[in-house]
Chains A and B, each alone.
Chain A
Amino acid sequence: MRHLPLTSAIALIAASAASADTVTVVTSFPQDLTDPFKAAFEEAHPEHELEVVNRNTNASVAFLQETRDSNTTDLFWASAPDAFEVLKSEGLLAKVDIASEGIPDEIGSYPINDPDGFYYGFAASGYGIMYNTRYVEANDLPIPAEWDDLMGAEYNGHVAMSAPSRSGTTHLTVETLLQGDGWEDGWAKWKWIAGNMNTVTERSFGVPDAVNSGSAGYGIVIDFFGLSSKASDFPVELVYPSVTAIVPANIAVIENAPNPEAAKTFVEFVLSPEGQQVLLNPAIMRLPVNQAAYENAPEGFPHPFDENFAPGAIEFDVNKSGTRYNLVNSLFDVLITYRLDELREAVAAVQQAEAAHADSGNAEAQALIEEARDLVEALPITEEESLDPAFAEAFQISRADPTTEVVGRQAEIEQEWDSFAVENYRRATELANEAAAM
């Protein structure tokens, strides 16, 4: 024990002396993913050594921002495309030319690489619904196929999801539905699904954790959470709804990297057929972007380049998503995450009223239920407003254009939305209870 500080100090000095051969990567990926890549890379390129530093995405971004003056990191390697967008807009990423073959420009309708060449997609991920088979059996529940199914009353209290403000990939799912179904119908759908939730988790890994341990029956997750849980023998399955967001996980070289050449070598390795093969490891289970890698894929492995895969995939508008990124996160938090109890109460009341009047033919009760439904679905802002810089930039302080006149401070707007939501949910509960009592 006592000699440890000395040895690590020596190791440190040795490491900095030999830094020409060391590539330092900051990543949010688990050891299950980084260890096989490290082994494969060091075998293919014995002259380099890969030093992996794990941090969650938020901590990684903060770390790179704070250490930019004396940067010690060569690469950033993570899922969420928005984290790369933030780093790119702040000039923290280096523009590099990467030689790779067999990688198409788009997956679904989402561009695999950054069009400006600052970051590169290395694996694709789709979104799906993961469920615990024991839970479903014990509670005699159905197996969902589409997002709409999760709105049904039979799912009440069984669904888990992460908040879009906490997880970049969840954000993409939310935005995909908003673009696929339209602003109003999309939000309505999310609210009815959220009304069935037993939890909105703070970490994206909280969702597979909840489903694996059986505290939730269904989870809205990025596919590899489901696939790797299954590969670890948990009693879970994953389904892809037909409208799904397929998005790349990325890698980028940091601006002013200590070892830029070796960093580039690693990126090229990850994109090569050899590197892509590593993704099929059962503990990783991410979808390769290099089509050649699918030749060795196991039976039943999802193939996102196949035309039968997710036929309902929509034309994803990256600009639209980017403009209102923080606004959508904030709106979701205010209407759903922070007011989940109120929303659940309203949704449960409507579901009970509907069950009571399923075929009673009571027109007065139906009218009340309709009114309650409208109140639950009501939105404080329109789609035009969500794309209006005067609104959107109130939520984008760090990257906002200072000349834009905004409608108010974020806290002010959120307070307005909050009272709107609380009052509507309260009134909807009241109306639905009234209808149910008829």
Chain B
Amino acid sequence: MSAIGTDAGKRSFTPFPRLSGAAVAGILIAIILMAFLILPVAQVIYVAFLDARTGTLTLQNFEDFFRSTLFRQSFYNSFYVSAMSVVVATVIALPLAYITTRFNFAGAALIQSLGFIPLIMPPFVGAVAMSLLFGRNGSVNLLLDQYLGFKIPFMEGLNGVILVQSIHYFPFILINLSAALRNIDRSMEESAQNLGASGLRLFRRIVFPLAMPGYLAGAALVFIKVFDDLGTPLLLNVNTMLAPQAYLRITGVGINDPMGYVISFILVAFSVFSLWASLLFMRGKDYATTQKGGGGLAKRDLSTREKVLAYGVILFILALVLSPHLGLTLLAFGTIWSFSPLPDGFTLQHFETVFTQSTQYIYNTILYAGTAALLDVILGTAIAYIVIRTGLPGRRWLDYMATAALAVPGVVLGIGYLRMFHGIQLPFGMGPMASWWGIIIVALMIRRLPYALRACMAALQQISLSLEEAAESLGAKRSSTIRRITVPLMTGGILAGFVTSFATAAVELSATIMLVSRSSEAPLAYGIYLYMQSAAGRGPGAALGILAVIIVGVGTYLSQRIIERDRRRRAAAPGAQQ
């Protein structure tokens, strides 16, 4: 940080100040965010500040918001559900992350990948699968009722929302916490052990605090995502929460209720506020450790009893969090499934339908989500570097702007794009920009950037500045330091970000549905939507959902393998054994 400060000081003598590479990158990113996020959204959301009838500027709508009992209650409900979801998600994620990173454990990569799958909940079919298993007349309740004579309301009310949200979003914590645990230097743990700490005390005082950036990155994502998510509450028909209220008021035909936009504005503002609060919590603490050579925490062997216990815990958690996908699988292979614990029969026909009609969706999804995720990690790494390692004025705002995307409802972004880009004609007869397939990639990139960004930030926070300073004092240029030292050390975090962005982009629908202009260019989620508009399409829709899960699952597994290989390579490198 100090290095660039003095650089800038020297340069201020030249008549035309040459911008540093970081400043150019920062300005470019700011332009991208302005063009594809802030301006399109502002075009839609400014309605919140207008008098609905006269069109003059006013804050009246905000006063109405706070005077309304329904909205105040919705705000409270959203807050309560988000906070509780973080707690429950932590309870699910912590054992998985801890056991797989701290112990020699067969199948750790597989467990990490499986623990990631819940994030990929295909729209609509995921909902149907959940209610077929856990709904009031789902498999579990039908069996309970038949044999024990009672039912458990898993999916009712706010508690249902908390359960489903925790199962859906805990991978954010798992993936970021695991990456952070892997990055903790072994010597820290060894020093603590030399000083007599062990077991839970070692974890509570040394290991967990050192993994804090990763945990907080994940927890902040869960909190904000749950606060802004409308899919799950709507699926459970809970509408006294903020996000569903905004959605219901924005999407009615021919309605122009300004309250929908007021709520959207409040969602964005509150998300940025939560992010700021989580940063405040970390301020003044240094999480960086210098010796990356040690390859992370020592992995311990487990005694047989411990092994049984650990497998028991992991299997139980996996069974719980993967049950929606079990339901999805049954739906995809089942014939008719109605008011019975299992489908009436099984068939491959739905997959046949999908493979004969819908293969283009699969190609499109890999192309769109892959490109978007790649752009996300590039942007994410750049923003993380600028925010943490440089002294550029206003650098924090890059982070805030990018993260605000989390809170922008997909519909709002979609309408904003149509409004801004439909008038722009592309060259070569490619038609309006808003109906070009590339705009779908841009939308996905913007919507999933926060995930990649949080992962990259956490990764960079754990790298000590002294490593980079060492490289620079040995004569390496700044750019080659970034390329040869910083980015390689961030690999785990960057891959975690890529996977999260890719997986969630693969099933995104709310913005893409506004932007798809031909079904030959549509992604998978849109294909599922098409099938799920009719009773006969439920099976093929589920089959397409399964394909989405498999694609993302394989991608995740491969990146886990890369992380593991990278770790082993580093651990085996001669320099590591000091």
Residues of A within 8 A of B (CB): 1, 4-5, 8-9, 11-13, 16-17, 28-33, 51-59, 61-63, 66-67, 69-70, 72, 80, 82-83, 85-86, 132, 134-135, 138, 165-166, 168, 198-202, 205, 208-210, 212-215, 225, 228-229, 231-236, 283, 326, 329, 333-334, 337-338, 341, 395, 397-400, 402, 406, 409-412, 414-415, 418-419, 422
Contact = CB atoms under 8 A, between A and B. Distances in A.
Contacts of B513: 55-56, 59
B253 A402 contact: no
B65 interface: yes
A254 B195 CA distance: 78
> Would you list the 3 A-B pairs with minimal beta carbon distance, nearest first?
A214-B339, A30-B533, A86-B254
Contacts of B138: 215
A342 to B, nearest CB: 10
A237 B67 CA distance: 46
A202 B415 CA distance: 20
B137 A135 contact: yes
A286 to B, nearest CB: 12
Nearest to B146: A138
Nearest to A213: B132
B69 interface: yes
Of A5, A52, A63, the most chain B CB neighbours within 10 A belong to A63
B422 A86 contact: no
Contact of A32 (B363, B418, B431, B534): B534
Interface in B530-576: 530-538
B338 interface: yes
A80 B253 CA distance: 10
Contacts of B432: 67, 70, 72
A190 B514 CA distance: 34
Given A53-B516, A402-B53, A5 B437 contact: yes
A406 B419 CA distance: 30
A218 to B, nearest CB: 13
Nearest to B415: A62
Contact of A30 (B244, B516, B537): B537
B174 to A, nearest CB: 29
Given A55-B513, A398-B256, A228 B536 contact: yes
A60 B401 CA distance: 29
Contacts of A334: 70
Given A30-B534, A55-B513, A283-B536, A72 B70 contact: no
Most chain A beta-carbon contacts within 10 A, residue among B60, B61, B239, B366: B239
Contacts of B337: 213
A165 to B, nearest CB: 5
B418 A67 contact: yes
B237 A201 contact: yes
Interface stretch (B268-276, B456-464, B494-502, B518-526): B518-526
A171 B319 CA distance: 42
B429 interface: yes
Interface string B57-89: 000110011011110000000000000000000
Interface string B244-279: 100010011111111100000000000000000000
Contacts of B157: 341
Contacts of B529: 54
Nearest to A51: B518
Interface residues of B, number: 79
A205 B248 contact: no
B422 A397 contact: no
A202 B518 contact: no
A200 B237 contact: yes
A337 B68 contact: no
B340 A134 contact: yes
A132 B132 CA distance: 14
B429 A61 contact: no
14 contacts: A33-B534, A53-B518, A58-B251, A61-B253, A72-B432, A198-B136, A202-B234, A212-B338, A212-B535, A212-B538, A283-B536, A334-B70, A409-B52, A412-B64
B366 to A, nearest CB: 6
A234 B429 contact: no
A16 B534 contact: no
Given A12-B431, A232-B536, A418-B70, A69 B253 contact: no
B24 interface: no
A31 B65 contact: no
Nearest to A199: B237
B49 to A, nearest CB: 14
B131 interface: yes
B126 interface: no
B56 to A, nearest CB: 12
Contacts of A225: 535
B367 A4 contact: yes
B252 A58 contact: yes
Contact of B248 (A69, A202, A395, A410): A202
B148 interface: no
B338 A213 contact: yes
B375 interface: no
Nearest to B245: A338
Contacts of A54: 519, 526, 529-530, 533
A400 B53 contact: yes
A301 to B, nearest CB: 18
A168 B253 contact: yes
Given A132-B339, A215-B137, A411 B535 contact: no
B520 A397 contact: no
Given A415-B64, A419-B69, A53 B517 contact: yes
B176 interface: no
A205 B513 CA distance: 17
A66 B363 CA distance: 29
Contacts of A418: 68-70
A229 B65 CA distance: 42
Contacts of B137: 135, 213-215
A329 B252 contact: yes
A208 B535 contact: yes
Nearest to B535: A229
Contacts of B136: 198, 215
A102 to B, nearest CB: 28
